[in-house]
């Protein structure tokens, strides 16, 4: 474990004015709080926070971040509290530690709905203080470096979470070195055979060709010396996972890959970057289509560099990145460069992105996403995709994800332009809307009055912004059409019973059907989610009794496999009309739970057992037990009136249990057989209105999880 003084010396190398007392106090406090705790490897637990602090010190981060790393597990794993940390180390550090604790508790690889909500919380934490994420990433990096001490199944879970979430997040923040190391550490766990195979190929290649990196580095230095350019040349072989990904993307073997070496040339000025580019291209032949100028068109996370690929010695392709020292700092540390120190003061790096502006631009489009799947899709598109740079006819630059189409371009300009798009020209040529835009192309969107978004555009668009705008527009277009149709259907149905479908009548129907307003009733009527008879029945139950065939139990749930049977979970007792999911059991078929059932958390780590189910729309028999928790006054005749109220609403009482008897009240559990959620609502409303009923609510018991009801 790194000692306190060694950590301070590491910080002093870039910040001589560091608060030595603060770091020492945090080191001693953290060690004391974690006393007696051990890691899976058997080492004292505090070796982990100390290592995380050292990782962040290597990134030249400020004292507050280093101290947060030393204390990042104290709130969660020790008796220390937020108030104690605030008193000892100040509010800023207490807030940072609290933020890291909350992130640690997020299950980012859980079910899709939870994952979307937790990503929202992740970005919220980032918007408050980006240093919280920097500590969390360093925490994950050290855990991955020491992952061998964990159980194999835990290793696999952590590695997949790292590959899916933390590595792309590090890359999106511009911390490319961390992304590569996280990916490679995860790759070592997920596919050790493939990684070992690539390493063996490298060893064989080195034996056959000698030290290629040293020879090419020497050649480049020679060319730069001839041109009179002072620069550092750094060469390396690409990480095993990076090579494996290229093999998968290009569907070719290791022997056919050419650009497995990468070189960086670090110059003193931006002007020298372009001089270096000229010298390299003059000496070696550039590979067409492999040139990117991120100096004139920087990435949104502040990354600047010139990328080119040339045919080097023996025809081998070599990737070269050219940038200044300040650009290199941002390329290595990304948004963390905003907090980095040099010579005792915060480094004024002109290329470092203001984290507040960066996270604001990142989260802006997510705020408009109400649907969990849409939000998750937008997050992943933004986090995982590389960029292409294209131009408007006026020469303005538009950044889009790789694979973007003219539809994405149109919506990137303005939502109004996107909605009115009827075609596009790329570099002056008319192209289909599904054409993929390439770097450097000029795009001209053709619009027309009266044009509206098409459903097929969802298959063409790739950006979260475009897809969200298209979905919203389609929903509005459909809604307007459905409301018009629903109004005609309602007018006709009400006319048949000599009534008028007034706004007041439709509002009353909305209240009975538990919908937002009259327009919602009409929209659902027009889209066939409601029938005209159901709307009539909601207003005039005596004139329009409900009709239709009763749906049997064998057809009650949609989404089951052939010959699969279901049982309702005892814990939540789901009813037709409620959102449901199924959990599969060997020999027991499927147990159906309400979507908000607390017992579902038991199965978070077993996604293969989950089934997406829903109830069949239509009339169900009064055959589904639900338990009501009722508190009534201890007066003569009260219980009889309660039973009568339930019977009048065509519900049968199958069981009744007194759970508490007091001189002035009784509390009892009443099992009633119901048709659906609306039936339950009507009974609770009737009981709630009874003067002698003190309280009534649905009874749910997570401890009764499992099947057992039909």
Q: Where are the alpha helices (DSSP H) in 191-268?
A: 192-209, 212-227, 240-250
Strand partners, 668: 630, 658
Place of tokens 């925490």: 139
Tell me if 85 sits within 8 A of 71, measured CB to CB: yes
Tell me if 249 sits within 8 A of 256, measured CB to CB: no
End-to-end CA distance of the chain: 59
Tell me if 318 sits within 8 A of 283, measured CB to CB: no
Q: What secondary structure does DSSP assign to 267-280, as a single string?
A: ESSHHHHHHHHHHH
Question: Rounded to 5 degrees, what angle do the CA atoms 504, 507, 511 make?
Answer: 140
**Out of 43, 76, 219, 690, which one is annotated catalytic?**
76
Q: Where are the alpha helices (DSSP H) in 251-371?
A: 270-283, 325-333, 355-364
- Indicate the burial class of 525 (C-beta count within 10 angstroms; 0-12, 13-18, 19 or more): buried
Cα 271 from Cα 263, distance rounded (Å): 19
Cα 501 from Cα 100, distance rounded (Å): 56
Of 472, 414, 466, 369, the residue nearest 123 (C-alpha): 369
Q: Judge whether 329 counts as a catalytic residue.
A: no
Pick left, alpha or beta for residue 574 (phi over 0 → left; psi -120 to 50 → alpha; otherwise beta): beta
Half-sphere exposure of 76 (CA within 13 A, CB side): 14
Token pair belonging to 47: 């070796």
Q: Judge whether 529 counts as a catalytic residue.
A: no
Cα 525 from Cα 531, distance rounded (Å): 6
Cα 513 from Cα 255, distance rounded (Å): 66
Cα 30 from Cα 72, distance rounded (Å): 9
Place of tokens 């941002």: 330
Token pair belonging to 425: 């020209």
Q: What are the phi and psi torsion angles at 44 (to 5°)?
A: -55, 140
Of 443, 446, 444, 469, the residue nearest 457 (C-alpha): 469
**Out of 77, 444, 598, 629, which one is annotated catalytic?**
77
Angle between the 240-250 and 192-209 helix axes, to the nearest 10 degrees?
Answer: 100
DSSP H or E run through 93: helix 91-104
> What is the three-class DSSP state of 673?
strand
Place of tokens 């327009």: 519
Active site (catalytic) residues: 76-77
């Amino acid at each position: 474990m790194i000692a306190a003084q060694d950590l301070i010396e590491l910080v002093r190398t870039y910040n001589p004015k560091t608060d030595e007392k603060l770091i020492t106090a945090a080191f001693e406090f953290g060690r004391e709080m974690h006393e007696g705790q051990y890691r899976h490897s058997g080492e004292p637990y505090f070796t982990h926070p100390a290592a995380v602090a050292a990782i962040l010190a290597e990134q030249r981060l400020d004292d507050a971040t280093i101290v947060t790393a030393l204390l990042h597990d104290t709130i969660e794993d020790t008796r220390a509290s937020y108030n104690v940390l605030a008193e000892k180390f100040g509010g800023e550090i207490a807030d940072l530690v609290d933020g890291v604790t909350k992130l640690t508790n997020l299950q980012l690889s859980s079910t899709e709905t939870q994952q979307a909500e937790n990503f929202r919380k992740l970005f919220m934490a980032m918007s408050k203080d980006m240093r919280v994420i920097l500590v969390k990433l360093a925490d994950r990096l050290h855990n991955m470096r020491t992952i061998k001490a964990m159980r194999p199944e835990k290793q696999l879970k952590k590695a997949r979470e790292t590959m899916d979430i933390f590595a792309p997040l590090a890359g999106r923040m511009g911390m490319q070195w961390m992304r590569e190391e996280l990916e490679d550490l995860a790759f070592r766990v997920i596919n050790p055979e493939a990684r070992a195979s690539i390493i063996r190929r490298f060893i064989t290649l080195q034996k056959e060709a000698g030290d290629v990196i040293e020879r090419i580095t020497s050649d480049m230095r020679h060319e730069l010396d001839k041109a009179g350019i002072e620069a550092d040349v750094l060469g390396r072989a690409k990480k095993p996972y990076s090579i494996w990904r290229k093999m998968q993307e290009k569907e070719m073997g290791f022997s056919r890959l050419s650009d497995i070496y990468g070189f960086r040339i670090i110059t003193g000025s931006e002007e020298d970057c372009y001089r270096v580019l000229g010298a390299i291209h003059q000496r070696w032949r550039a590979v067409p289509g492999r040139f990117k100028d991120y100096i004139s068109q920087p990435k949104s996370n502040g990354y600047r560099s010139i990328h080119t690929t040339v045919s080097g010695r023996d025809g081998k392709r070599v990737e070269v990145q050219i940038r200044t020292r300040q650009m290199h700092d941002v390329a290595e540390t990304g948004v963390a460069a905003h907090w980095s120190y040099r010579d005792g003061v915060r480094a004024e790096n002109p290329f470092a992105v203001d984290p507040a502006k960066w996270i604001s631009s990142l989260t802006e489009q997510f705020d408009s996403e109400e649907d969990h799947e849409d939000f998750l899709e937008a997050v992943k598109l933004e986090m995982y995709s590389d960029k292409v740079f294209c131009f408007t006819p006026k020469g303005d630059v538009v950044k889009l994800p790789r694979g973007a189409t003219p539809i994405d371009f149109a919506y990137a300009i303005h939502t109004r332009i996107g909605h009115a798009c009827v075609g596009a020209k790329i570099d002056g040529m008319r192209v289909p809307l599904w054409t993929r835009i390439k770097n450097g192309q000029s795009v001209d969107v053709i619009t027309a009055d009266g044009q509206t978004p098409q459903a097929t555009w969802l298959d063409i668009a790739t950006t979260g912004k475009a897809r969200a705008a298209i979905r919203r527009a389609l929903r509005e277009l459909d809604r307007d059409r459905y409301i018009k149709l629903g109004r005609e259907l309602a007018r006709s149905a009400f006319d048949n019973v000599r009534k008028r479908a007034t706004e007041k009548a439709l509002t009353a129907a909305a209240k009975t059907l538990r919908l937002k307003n009259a327009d919602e009733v009409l929209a659902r009527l027009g889209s066939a989610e409601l029938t005209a008879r159901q709307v009539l029945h909601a207003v005039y139950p005596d004139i329009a009794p409900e009709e239709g065939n009763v749906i049997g139990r064998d057809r009650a749930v949609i989404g089951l496999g052939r010959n699969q049977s279901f049982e309702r979970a005892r814990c939540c007792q789901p009813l037709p009309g409620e959102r449901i999911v199924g959990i599969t059991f060997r020999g027991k078929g499927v147990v159906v739970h309400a979507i908000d059932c607390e017992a579902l958390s038991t199965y978070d780590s077993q996604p293969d057992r989950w089934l997406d189910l829903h109830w069949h729309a239509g009339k169900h028999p009064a055959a589904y037990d639900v338990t009501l928790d009722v508190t009534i006054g201890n007066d003569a005749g009260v219980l009889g009136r309660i039973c009568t109220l339930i019977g009048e609403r065509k519900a049968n009482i199958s069981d009744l249990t007194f759970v508490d008897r007091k001189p002035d009240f009784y509390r009892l559990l009443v099992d009633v057989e119901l048709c659906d959620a609306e039936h339950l609502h009507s009974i609770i409303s009737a009981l709630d209105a009874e003067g002698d009923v003190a309280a009534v609510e649905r009874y749910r018991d997570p401890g009764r999880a499992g099947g057992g009801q039909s």
